Amino acid sequence: MKSIARIFSTVAALLTLSACAAPLSTLDPAGPSATAISTLWWVMFWSSVVIFILMMAVLTTIWLRPGLARTVRPGKWIIYGGLAVPGALLTVLVGFALYTGERLLAHPIEDAPPRISAHGVMWQWQFSYPELGDVGPTRVLHIPAGQPVDILVTSGDVVHSFWVPRLAGKIDAIPGHENVVRIQADRPGSYQGVCAEFCGNGHTRMLFQVEAHEPELYANAVREAAQ
């Protein structure tokens, strides 16, 4: 048992270690949305580890201790293992996930967040800022830090997908449609974004930077970048 525990702590340490350094890591969240999702992930991950170990323990018991496995009547296997346990777990999980999902939506809020447009074309992103007197486009996305920002995502040709893994989940840019994703960077800094939906030969290089500024410096930074 001790050695198993040690393997676990090593794996956990490895996972966290390697996750920290990466600029596109969903496990290194830098905003409330990505943090909520990463919490959901860790909850699901550790539950899955437990479930997997239990399943393997059952399988091993059947093989090595057939007498023990036979004490549970056949019908009980299906009712508990197949219906009751997964049913209960899934109900809790779906409830938790939907609650999390609700919190991440771009609900109308009192302090209407700034709206920035992200327009994907083969193979770059153009960001413009209608609320700052329609400046732009810029190639780097500038946002104020510490507050939510709504990104209006559109496409000029094929389907793209706007993804800044450390800030929030992705949203597709679909020609003819306008999608909104609410992102927030807790601290000023530079974040990496990618196009997540395959969009042809330049898909690989459709990366972009997000610069989060102190709110009071934000408007100037955008105007400077737009020139």
Partner 1 sequence: MTDLTPETPSPIRLHKQLERIWGTGPGLQRLAAVNHTVIGKRFMITAFVFFAIGGLLAMLIRAQLATPNAAFVGPELYNQLFSMHGTVMMFLFAIPMLEGLAIYLLPKMLGARDLAFPRLTAYGYWCYLFGGTIIVVSMLFGVAPDSGWFMYTPLSSQPYTPGINADIWLLGVTFVEISAVSAAIEITVTILKLRAPGMSLNRMPLFAWYMLVTALMMVFGFPPLILGSILLELERAFGLPFFDPERGGDPLLWQHLFWLFGHPEVYIIFLPAAGAISTMIPVFAQRKIVGYHAIIAAIVALAFLSFGLWVHHMFTVGIPHLALAFFSAASAIVAIPTAVQIFAWLATLAHGRPRFDIPMLYIFGFFVVFVIGGLTGVMLAMVPFNQQAHDSYFVVAHLHYVLVGGFVFPMLAAVYFWLPHITGRQSVHRISVPAFWLIFIGFNLTFFLMHLTGLMGMPRRIYTYPSNFGWDWLNLLSSVGGFILTMGFALFAVDLILQFRFGRHFRRNIWKASTLDWAMPTRPTSYAFASLPKIEERADGIDPDRLGAELAAGKGYLGFARNNRMETLAVDMTTGRLEHLVVLPNATYLPLLSAGLTGSVVLCTLFKLYIGAIVFAIATVSSFFLWSRTTGLTTDSGPVPVGNGEFVPPDVEVDGSTPWWAMVFALSANGTLFASLIFGALYLWLVAPAWPPAEIADPGFWLWLAPVAMIVSSIVARWATGINRQGGNFAPALFAIVIIDGLTIVLISLALSALPDPTAHAHIATVAAILGYGWLHAAGGFCFALNGLMKARGGYVSARRSLPLRLSVLWHDYTAVTGVIGALLIGAMPMLIGMLEGVR
Partner 2 sequence: MGEAHVPANRILLIPLGFTIWAAAFVVLYATNAIGCAFEWPSAVQRGMLIAISLGFLGLGGVAWHLVHRHWERNAKAEVAPAPTLSIIGIYGLGSAFVAMIGVAIPVLATSMCI
Task: State both tokens at 114.
Answer: 């700034």
91 contributes a contact to partner 2 by CB under 8 A: yes
106 contributes a contact to partner 2 by CB under 8 A: yes
When the beta carbons of 94 and 112 are compared against partner 1, the nearer one is 94
With CA atoms as reference, report the closest residue to 207 among 227, 223, 190: 190
Q: In the complex, what is the shortest distance from the CB of residue 105 to partner 2, in angstroms, rounded to a whole number? A: 5
Q: In the complex, what is the shortest distance from the CB of residue 197 to partner 1, in angstroms, rounded to a whole number? A: 6
**Residue type (1 letter), 189:** G
With CA atoms as reference, report the closest residue to 222 among 129, 112, 126, 113: 129
Residues of this chain, 54-73, that bind partner 1 according to CB under 8 A: 55-56, 58-59, 62-63, 66, 69-70, 72
Binding mask 96-135 for partner 1 (x = CB under 8 A): -xx-xxx-xx----------------x-------------
Candidate segments 95-103, 112-120, 130-138, 214-222, binder of partner 1 by CB under 8 A:
95-103
Instruction: Determine the size of the site formed for partner 2 (CB under 8 A).
Output: 9
Buried b (16+ CB within 10 A) or exposed e, 122-158: bbbbbbbbeebeebbbbeebbbbbeebbbbbbbbeeb
Rounded CA separation 132/221 (Å): 11
78 contributes a contact to partner 1 by CB under 8 A: yes
Neighbouring CB atoms inside 10 A of 87's CB total: 10
| Chain positions contacting partner 2, by CB under 8 A | 87, 91, 94, 98, 102, 105-107, 180
